[in-house]
Amino acid sequence: MIYVGIDVGGTGIQVGLVDESGKILCKGGIVTRTDIPFDMQVKAMADCVLDTIDKGGYTLGDVKAIGAGVPGVTDPRTGNIAFCTNLGWVDVPFVQEFNKHIAKPVFVGNDATVAGLAESVAGVSAGSDSSVFVTLGTGVGGGIVFNGKVWNGFHGVGSEIGHMILELDGEPCTCGNYGCVERYCSATAIIRMARELCAVHPESEIVKVCEGDLNRVNAKVVFDAAKNGDEIALKVFHRYVKYLGQLVASLVNCIDPEVIVLGGGVSKAGDFLLDAVRAETRRYVLYKTLPSARIELAKLGPDAGIIGAAMLGK
């Protein structure tokens, strides 16, 4: 039997056929269209699923379940999606609509949650008893997996790691609160901190690389300059690592998972980031002499969305 994973993104929708072990067998995809109504969007996804099954040489009879990971709030119990801003969905009956086209078990989950599930099936946290996945991208997302199953909380609104508050009366967040983790641990935060410092330190390598245009600052530029020993970039890097270390330590102190996985674009900084975060986390972990969570980098990359969505039905 195979599983189908749908990774619903703001610009593209990727579909993949996935085996029991989390290996992708065949892929397809369509462009995300926000100019058509919800029922048409779902029909386009279902058509893409059928095309991909066909392309892979399988039939619907080979499919055990279909899963979709969406950048929004989902209710796995009803199959409804409460919010998905990128696609303009508010409280839509996703599973019910999808089943009009394909009569198979269909599951929905948040995109960060399914990426965490993917890592726990076929990635760096494979075979672990429990893991917390933290995606460090434009925002910060979270995926909690216990015994191979995602944990979204009793009401389905949990694992929003990016909106735990890290700084009282801190930076305003898109969610309406102030001082959220996302404002300090995302790529967006690195860019903000770098721009603030570069405005008064034009001698920084960051400014040179961006040819004076601070709109061109991104996380990679900042971390590359930090690796080269640029003083301003290192200031940003150390501040970022301090925030991230405190977040990771709080996850250790609160949840004590077997593994904490760092994913998303920022995690591409590799061991430079990982070594620093591991050291910083140790400073804030409560029981320093006792064993605690391994901290690792995600290894599946962009395919995690497809794999994790597919594994929702396993």
Q: Which residues bind Zn ion (CB under 5 A)?
A: 163, 173, 175, 177, 180
For Zn ion, give the closer residue by CB, 1 or 175.
Answer: 175
What SS3 class is residue 197? Answer: helix
Q: On the CB side of 266, how many CA atoms lie within 13 Å of its CA?
A: 28
Write down the least CB distance from residue 73 to Zn ion, Å: 13
Asked if 5 and 18 count as a contact pair (C-beta separation under 8 A), the reply is yes
User: Could you tell me which of 70, 66, 107, 67 has the C-alpha nearest to residue 87?
Assistant: 70
For Zn ion, give the closer residue by CB, 60 or 82.
Answer: 82
Runs of H (alpha helix) within 201-300: 205-209, 219-227, 231-255, 271-284
Using CA atoms, how far apart are residues 85 and 183, in angstroms rounded to an integer?
A: 19
Write down the least CB distance from residue 181 to Zn ion, Å: 8
Write down the least CB distance from residue 266 to Zn ion, Å: 17
Write down the least CB distance from residue 247 to Zn ion, Å: 13
56 vs 18, 27, 51, 294, CA distance in Å?
11, 8, 9, 37
Using CA atoms, how far apart are residues 17 and 25, in angstroms rounded to an integer?
A: 5
Write down the least CB distance from residue 142 to Zn ion, Å: 12
Asked if 133 and 112 count as a contact pair (C-beta separation under 8 A), the reply is yes
Write down the least CB distance from residue 149 to Zn ion, Å: 26
Write down the least CB distance from residue 170 to Zn ion, Å: 10
Asked if 79 and 95 count as a contact pair (C-beta separation under 8 A), the reply is yes
Q: Which two tokens stand for residue 203?
A: 């001698």
Q: Which two tokens stand for residue 252?
A: 């250790």
What SS3 class is residue 199? Answer: helix
